[in-house]
């Protein structure tokens, strides 16, 4: 089985993530989507909610496994026999940090990182920007799967009412 991982925070998953995961799912037998837990960041969605949204939106690809992980990505890969990390590159600005991480991860365990250029439609898209625009009432419905958009609007309304 040829395996790869698409790692990220996925808070929440966007159409940009889906673009990369779908393309990876056509290249590999199994694509692991790893929700990395960052102790220093509190998300808008819990890790379980993020996993549920990924499962709902990626299930149709048929070869996706979704899990959370707290710790190093290279350990996640080693424990599951995953030789490749797939990352979307949106613009040149992503490249410096992504290259650093790729070189560090390769130096740690030999895991490879493969970069996929994002669709130009999503080259500006990030979960943070979507959350910011939505929190001020901006329309982000074209940037998210419908179920994610619904939950985002609900969550922002809940937070505003607290």
Chain residues that interact with ligand PNS, rule: CB under 6 A: 7-9, 36, 72-73, 101, 104-105
Judged by CB, which is closer to ligand PNS: 43, or 52?
A: 43
Distance CA 27, CA 135 (A): 36
Active-site position among 127, 131, 149, 151: 127
Judged by CB, which is closer to ligand PNS: 52, or 101?
A: 101
- Closest approach of Cβ 107 to ligand PNS, in Å? 9
> Residues of 97-133 as b/e, b for ≥16 C-beta within 10 angstroms?
ebeeebeebeeeeebebebeebeeebeebbbeebbee
Judged by CB, which is closer to ligand PNS: 66, or 158?
A: 66
- Closest approach of Cβ 36 to ligand PNS, in Å? 4
Question: What's the count of helices (H) and strands (E) in the chain, helices before strands?
Answer: 6, 5
Judged by CB, which is closer to ligand PNS: 30, or 36?
A: 36
Residue 119 falls in the annotated catalytic set: no
Residue 39 falls in the annotated catalytic set: no
Residue 127 falls in the annotated catalytic set: yes
Active-site position among 23, 90, 131, 149: 90
Instruction: List, in sequence order, every residue forming a beta bridge with 86; answer none if it has no partner.
Output: 114
Distance CA 123, CA 59 (A): 24
Residue at token pair 């992980």? 69
Residue 80 falls in the annotated catalytic set: no
The residue sitting closest to ligand PNS, measured at its beta carbon, is: 8
User: Which 8-state DSSP code applies to residue 81?
Assistant: T
Indicate which residues carry an active-site annotation.
17, 41, 90, 127
């Amino acid at each position: 089985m040829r395996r790869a991982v698409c790692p990220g925070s996925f808070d929440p998953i966007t159409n940009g993530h889906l673009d990369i995961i779908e393309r990876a799912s056509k290249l590999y037998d199994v694509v692991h989507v790893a929700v990395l837990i960052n102790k220093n960041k509190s998300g808008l969605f819990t890790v379980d909610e993020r996993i549920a949204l990924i499962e709902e939106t990626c299930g149709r690809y048929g070869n996706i496994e979704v899990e959370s992980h707290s710790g190093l990505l290279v350990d996640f890969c080693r424990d599951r026999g995953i030789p490749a990390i797939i990352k979307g590159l949106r613009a040149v600005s992503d490249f410096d940090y992504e290259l650093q991480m790729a070189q560090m991860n390769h130096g740690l365990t030999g895991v490879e990182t493969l970069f996929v250029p994002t669709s130009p439609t999503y080259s500006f898209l990030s979960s943070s920007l979507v959350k910011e625009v939505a929190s001020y009432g901006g329309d982000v419905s074209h940037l998210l799967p419908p179920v994610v958009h619904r939950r985002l609007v609900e969550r922002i309304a809940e937070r505003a009412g607290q």
